[in-house]
Amino acid sequence: MVAGAGIFYVGFSSTLGILVLASLLVGIPAVMLWRSSKKIPMPKTQTLFSALNPRGRSRTFWLVSIALMFNSFAIYPLITLLLPVFMAQQLGYTYITIGVLFMLYNIVSAAATFLSLKRPLSIGRAATLTVASIVASVFLAGSGLFFPAFLVALAFVRGYGIGFFEHAVVKVAKDSKNVSVDIGLLHAPMRLAEFSSVLVAGFLAQAVGYSPVFIATGACFGVFAFLALRAIRSPSTTVGTSLRTLN
């Protein structure tokens, strides 16, 4: 909301400069962590690189990684590119309105996330969220005055679906001997999907319009939910067992 108001009143350059200065505050805790890390002995180089070996992870591990990738397809291009451009070009919203709507999106998503972690995961929950995601995505481009309502519906679906994300990650990383490395490998395909999905989504929106791309992101959420649920319900495996055997 503040960013939208800043762009509206003082322009892009000034707002960007303020945000850059604000982001520099991250350096304070970063320096504190760096100083404290000097007291922690660093592992040997051989041990460090052996942990990065992708071999030895279970099928469930990579299933979770693929699920996270589809979650990125469902959310990243929509939030970082398509929705802001669509609201500005197609709906004629001001920057303040766009900022307020994204603030509302995040508030609803955060509240849904809190509720999600208190509810059990099930096929019914995955199916319900998938249908809601696709329906909201279908009507998003042509909703007109009802656009905020469908945006809020998507925010709720994305937030309520975070339970699948968190439980899937815990499923394959909780018994790991190298938790940080395994979580990094889990997220690697998702990070690759982030930049590639923005490029593809922008091209498709230009070529075929917003509706097909919105629907595709809604369907990707369904793929994510069911893949994550399948991984969560699979037999437990100890991540890194084969790696330790290889070493």
Domain regions of the chain by residue span: 1-41, 46-246
Query: How many whole angstroms separate alpha carbon 64 and alpha carbon 164?
Result: 10
pLDDT in tens, 56-109: 678 888 899 999 999 999 999 999 999 999 999 999 999 999 999 999 999 999
- Nearest alpha carbon to residue 150 among 134, 164, 163, 162: 134
For residue 39, give every residue at least 6 positions away whose Cβ sits within 8 Å of its Cβ, in sequence order, or none: none
> pLDDT band at 247, cuts 50/70/90?
very low
pLDDT value at residue 127: 94
pLDDT value at residue 103: 94
Backbone angles phi, psi at 7, to 5 degrees: -65, -40
pLDDT in tens, 215-227: 999 999 999 999 9
pLDDT value at residue 143: 80
Tell me what the pLDDT averaged over the chain comes to: 85
> pLDDT band at 182, cuts 50/70/90?
confident
Higher-confidence residue: 117 or 233? 233
> pLDDT band at 51, cuts 50/70/90?
low
> pLDDT band at 245, cuts 50/70/90?
very low
First to last CA, the chain: 51
Higher-confidence residue: 147 or 120? 147
We find that the CATH architecture of domain 46-246 is Up-down Bundle (1.20)
Backbone angles phi, psi at 176, to 5 degrees: -75, 145
pLDDT value at residue 39: 64
**pTM for this one?**
0.81
Neighbour-count burial of 201, counting CB atoms closer than 10 A to its CB (0-12 exposed, 13-18 middle, 19+ buried): buried
Query: How many whole angstroms separate alpha carbon 145 and alpha carbon 148?
Result: 8
pLDDT at 129 over 60: yes
pLDDT in tens, 132-148: 999 999 998 888 889 99
State the average pLDDT over residues 177-201.
86
